[in-house]
Structure 1
Amino acid sequence: MVPQIEAFFDPATWTYSYVVFDQMGGHAVIIDPVLDYDPKSGRTTTRSADALCAFVAAQQLRVAWILETHAHADHLSAAHLLRSRLGARVAIGAAILQVQSVFKGIFNLGDEFAADGHHFDLLLADQDTLTVGGLTIRAWAVPGHTPADMAYEIGDALFVGDTLFMPDVGTARCDFPGGDASTLYRSIQRLLSFPDDTRLCMCHDYPPAGRAPMWCSTVAEQKAGNIHVGHGRDEAGFVSMRQARDATLDMPVLLLPAVQINIRAGQFPPPEPNGASYLKIPLNQL
């Protein structure tokens, strides 16, 4: 079945979220939902999640799963909010355990945080499948940006997370804890081994001046024109380029709040005795 795809763009974080559904059966999944966050005030709002819910209601869809491609460093996840609103379950790659363990240490989370993946309803291994109405979803492990990145194959579309960007933007950074440029190169080659007309759905777009944001390319377009891996670039050349480029990049603005929320599947840290939840800022650790 060719899935129906509705893309939602969050200009504050350059993020694309998706509702993917079968038109006839009304079954759906949501991929990479955003919880809006103001870093100046520490306040969250639900504008992006509200848009997803409004579309789901208008189309009379039943959302079975919320799929995270990884524990994002550039936006907070709305997975927990949507789980409570829509009755859906939340899935992520099984290597999230490694990511949780690393960041438990960085944030010194202590006994209140168990790095065992229980925050998610399902931990997916490579090539695990889910059936949602007329949709068959296959998970593909594509580590490198982080150890836990997953791409999701649904019909003729691959939701690639942060492995690839649009051809004129390139590829994801690899300098977060557990990231590795050689691993990312091999993951990208795995994606580019799909048929040339396979649709590749981005998690982000950072368009150059003069181009509007876009959410979809094809395998053929990436192989021909991706500025980092196109034209048959070999692994050694990619690793050299990626490491040099990563050394010049600032950390994402929302990395510290986002990771603390996202390793919990979008849940806030437990409230303290005054009823408020707090995030930590580790000084001189990253």
Structure 2
Amino acid sequence: MTTTAAPRRTTTQAFFDPVTGTVSYVIWDHATKHAAIIDPVLAYDFKSGHTSTAPADRLLTYVRAQALQVDWILETHAHADHLSGARHVQSQAGGRIAIGEHIRTVQATFRTLYNLERDFLPDGSQFDHLFKDGESFRIGDAEAVALLVPGHTPADMAYLVDGTVFVGDTLFMPDLGSARADFPGGDARQLYRSMHRLLALPPETTIYVCHDYPPATREPRWQSSVAEQRAHNIHVRDGIGEEEFVRMRTARDATLDVPTLILPSMQVNVRAGRFPPPDDNGVAYLRIPLNALPVRRGAAAPE
């Protein structure tokens, strides 16, 4: 006797930003047309200092076309490779900006690095909601669960909704493996355990990744499954143990360059997508700490 999986009550639409390799998502409940937006991007031109809302506006165009009500703007973590478009999305479509509660640890680290203004408090209050591990919430009538998956950063969250899981940078597509674990507070051993937490979900669970940096031999992809990852992920497939992974990840991370946008992006992303407060001339400035980050001479790998 065969069983048929229950039909999905939600639809997921992906939006790939080729400049940063980021995949943002809109997931919405068919019954209520309530939605969540996950990891929206604000474009930033490093040379000119100009920002653009174009990547986030693509999501908003879809939201309007489907007549959706945005309940949540979910960040999987404070990204080091793009500026968050969360605040722009909220200004246009509403919704609560949320992230994991351990963002406070990340805020404290980068408050020190940037020597941020006195009234910036590393207490998570810049976000509308801080998720605890295992906390349930709803997107319309669809139940969702926030899962703590540290390792890439201390604050990474995955969001499990309707048989799908949005994993942020915790997993990549099987041919790329896993994200780096050498950011402040990152830990390769934690990353391995977080990946296995996700890979313990039912094998048919759909996995949506936050980034893809495809080799020349294929087009960008962002959807896989627990079964596919367990069978084919080059870093964490079945049979690869924790010690083997930690040795590989630690050695690989030592060869990677600093991400291009880490310094501009983090001081925006720890503020939930807000720019720093403007100076008395009305202009907001991003701070670049000189000689503060370790020098890397390795590959300019985006992971």
Task: Name the counterpart of 2:221.
Answer: 214
Identity rate of aligned residues, in percent?
A: 57
- Find out whether 1:148 has 2:159 as its counterpart: no
Task: Name the counterpart of 2:71.
Answer: 64
Stretches of structure 1 that go unaligned for 5 or more consecutive residues are: none
Stretches of structure 2 that go unaligned for 5 or more consecutive residues are: 1-7, 294-303
Structure 1 residue ranges (4+ consecutive) displaced by more than 4 angstroms after TM superposition: none
- Rounded to whole Å, the distance in 1 between the matches of 2:239 and 2:214 is 23
- Partner residue of 2:267 out of 260, 263, 271: 260
Residue 69 of structure 1 aligns with an amino acid whose one-letter code is T
SS in 2 for 1:152: strand
Task: Name the counterpart of 2:110.
Answer: 103
The 8 Å contact of residues 9 and 31 in structure 2, kept in 1 or not, is answered as: no
Task: Name the counterpart of 2:182.
Answer: 175
Q: How does 1:231-270 map to 2 (within 5 A)?
A: 231-270=238-277
- Partner residue of 1:76 out of 80, 83, 92: 83
Q: Which stretch shows the higher mean deviation, 6-15 or 208-217?
A: 208-217
The 8 Å contact of residues 2 and 156 in structure 1, kept in 2 or not, is answered as: no
SS in 2 for 1:111: coil
Residue 119 of structure 1 aligns with an amino acid whose one-letter code is Q
- Rounded to whole Å, the distance in 1 between the matches of 2:109 and 2:149 is 19
- Rounded to whole Å, the distance in 2 between the matches of 1:285 and 1:156 is 43
- Rounded to whole Å, the distance in 1 between the matches of 2:186 and 2:142 is 31
- Rounded to whole Å, the distance in 2 between the matches of 1:231 and 1:24 is 38
Per-residue Cα deviation, 1:83-111 (whole angstroms, up to 9, x for no partner): 11111110000000000001001111141
1:124, distance to aligned residue in structure 2 (A): 0.3
- Rounded to whole Å, the distance in 2 between the matches of 1:37 and 1:96 is 23
Task: Name the counterpart of 1:274.
Answer: 281
Task: Name the counterpart of 1:283.
Answer: 290
- Partner residue of 1:115 out of 122, 125, 147: 122
- Find out whether 1:33 has 2:44 as its counterpart: no
RMSD between superposed Cα atoms in Å:
0.8
- Count of residues paired in the alignment: 286
The 8 Å contact of residues 35 and 70 in structure 2, kept in 1 or not, is answered as: yes
Residue 263 of structure 2 aligns with an amino acid whose one-letter code is L
1:231, distance to aligned residue in structure 2 (A): 3.2
- Rounded to whole Å, the distance in 2 between the matches of 1:229 and 1:22 is 32
- Rounded to whole Å, the distance in 2 between the matches of 1:252 and 1:137 is 31
1:24, distance to aligned residue in structure 2 (A): 2.8
- Rounded to whole Å, the distance in 1 between the matches of 2:122 and 2:217 is 44
